[in-house]
Amino acid sequence: MILPQYDGHCGWYEVLDKVSAFPPVQSNMRVDTVVIGGGFVGCAAARRLAENRPDERVLLIEALKIGQGASGRNSGFVIDQPHKRDLESSDNDLKRKLVTLNRQAIDYLEAQIERYDIDCQWSHAGKYQAAVGPRGEKYLRHYEQLLKGFGENYETLSQQRMQAIFGTDYYSAAIFTPGGTLMQPAALMRGLADNMPDNVQIAENTPVTEISRTDSGFVLRTEQACVKCRQLILGTNIFTAELGFMRDRILPVMTFASMTEPLSDAQMQRFGGELDWGITPADHAGTTLRMTQDRRIIVRNSYRYAHDYNTPQDLLPDLRRRHRVAFDARYPQLGDVDFEYTWGGASSLSGNFETYFGEIEQGIYLSCCDQSVGAARGTISGMMLADMACGKRTDMLRNMMEVSGAPSKLPPRPLLRIGVPMRMAMARYASRSEV
């Protein structure tokens, strides 16, 4: 069984000033509901369960420290729009439901951030999508038509405006959409964990190695103890298959990012742009770029089929060099700015781009195959899994069921290990001008 491992390289987590401690499960116990996985799905599910059933005990189990896994490794976007493939759907009702759910997730997160004064660089900064050359511009024009057809607000940027914001003339075109937010993901996850309701117990560094069913519910085995419960909610991302679910449905894909040291005053002057923005590439195989509120630039590109689930450390030097090439192309004036961290973060995809949400077995609720838009999707999924587990039927849950699908069966793993890297290499070559 492959278990999550922390590599010590996630920049978002490593720059945190302090991290609270939640002890692992060390003795046998019984609770009402166990939530496995302390990411966006798990934290939202645990909180919502506690809100729905304040007199019941909820145990949130995380194999690592909260913020070290996939939810603390993304580029810090909480996107309100449908995924680009969903945006291409002709079903405007479906797209409206997706937007509504994503914005309800943003509102839910923001309410907690404000209530508990969580310091996570939360910002209504929106999102930019940008092109480097003709290939990207073609994708960007298509994106603009999709936004226009769906009635979403957007703004096209002039060359002067792009340079004023991004501090570079590297981009040839960009579109701004105002609805999304930016944040520091590891800081957000730690803030959510530190402010759970009183009836939620958190156990970190507690990987679950086995789940078995009993007449009254389930028994979970960890390295040191057994936990009995009546219901289970799984927010286990690509590790879901290791627990015996969706084994031939989840395609684990890892993307990689590098984070600079904070820019000095002199470097900021040479940079010449603004703080607090994020660019996603018009060509999906291009480069994501972030400038944080604390003067760090993040470059994300390069993909890998994560058949072994964790980040191979011997790949990081080459990935950092790729990020350096993309950084230098955009900021030749910042050659003295060093990368401080390089890391990988995993997403669970499906072969037909469908997400899974629902009761996968009696008493076991699951959300997976987030299609690389996990912050909003994970949050609303966790909330709605908790409502479903509590028998609470709402319009939000109904909408969630209607926008979710059935991930297709994937080819055998030996074929995936050959075919997926080949396809990624072809996409990387086709998109080389946009990186």
What pLDDT digit, counting tens, does each position of 105-126 carry?
Answer: 999 999 999 999 999 999 999 9
pLDDT of residue 398: 97
Whether 84 is in a domain gets the answer: no
Please state, in angstroms and rounded to a whole number, the distance separating the CA atoms of residues 168 and 185. Answer: 26
Same domain, 178 and 280: yes
Domain identity same for 243 and 373 = yes
- Please check whether residues 178 and 279 belong to one and the same domain: yes
Unique residue bearing structure tokens 């890998």: 304
CA distance 384 to 387: 5
Q: Is residue 5 part of a domain?
A: no
Output the domain CATH number for residue 236: 3.50.50.60
Mean pLDDT over all residues of the chain? 95
Confirm whether 19 is domain-assigned. Answer: yes
Element (H, E) at 190: helix 185-194
307 and 261 fall within a common domain: yes
pTM of the model: 0.96
Q: Which residue has the higher pLDDT, 222 or 82?
A: 222
287 and 364 inside one domain? no
- Residue 359's domain spans which residues? 11-73+187-248+352-415
Query: In sequence order, which residues have a C-beta less than 8 Å from that of residue 156 and are 6 or more positions away?
Result: 144, 173, 174, 175, 176
Whether 112 is covered by a domain: the verdict is no
Mean pLDDT, residues 78-105 taken together: 90
Residue 164 within a domain:
yes
Q: 131, 137 in Cβ contact below 8 A?
A: yes
**Do residues 229 and 223 touch, judged by C-beta distance below 8 A?**
no
Q: List, for residues 117-168, the tens digit of each pLDDT value.
A: 999 999 999 999 999 999 999 999 999 999 999 899 999 999 999 999 999 9
In a domain, 109, yes or no: no
Order of strands, sheet of 339-349, starting from the edge strand that comes earlier in the sequence:
155-156, 173-177, 127-131, 277-281, 288-291, 297-305, 251-260, 339-349
- Which residues 6+ apart lie within 8 Å of 60 measured at CB? 34, 35, 38, 42, 43, 46, 193, 196, 200, 201, 202, 203
So what's the pLDDT on residue 372? 74
* Residues 320 and 430 grouped into a single domain: yes
Type and span of the H or E element at 341: strand 339-349
Q: Are residues 178 and 290 in the same domain?
A: yes
Residue 86 has pLDDT above 90, yes or no: no
pLDDT tier at 371 (50, 70, 90 boundaries)?
Answer: confident
CATH code for the domain in which residue 162 is found: 3.30.9.10
**What integer pLDDT is reported at residue 374 of this predicted model?**
82
Q: Are residues 51 and 166 in the same domain?
A: no
272 and 343 share a domain? yes
Whether residue 338 lies inside any domain: the answer is yes
pLDDT at 269: 98
339 pLDDT more than 90: yes
255 and 395 housed in the same domain: no
In this structure, are 149 and 214 located in the same domain? Answer: no
Query: For residues 336 and 325, what is the distance between their CA atoms, to the nearest angstrom?
Result: 14
Per the structure, how many domains does the chain have? 2
**Mean pLDDT score, 17-22:** 94
65 in a domain, yes or no? yes
Q: Do residues 156 and 294 share a domain?
A: yes
Split at pLDDT 50, 70, 90, the class of 310 is: confident
Q: How far apart are CA 14 and CA 145, in angstroms?
A: 40
The pLDDT tens digits for 265-304 are 999 999 999 999 999 999 989 999 999 999 999 999 999 9
Q: Is 240 left (phi over 0), alpha (psi -120 to 50) or beta?
A: alpha
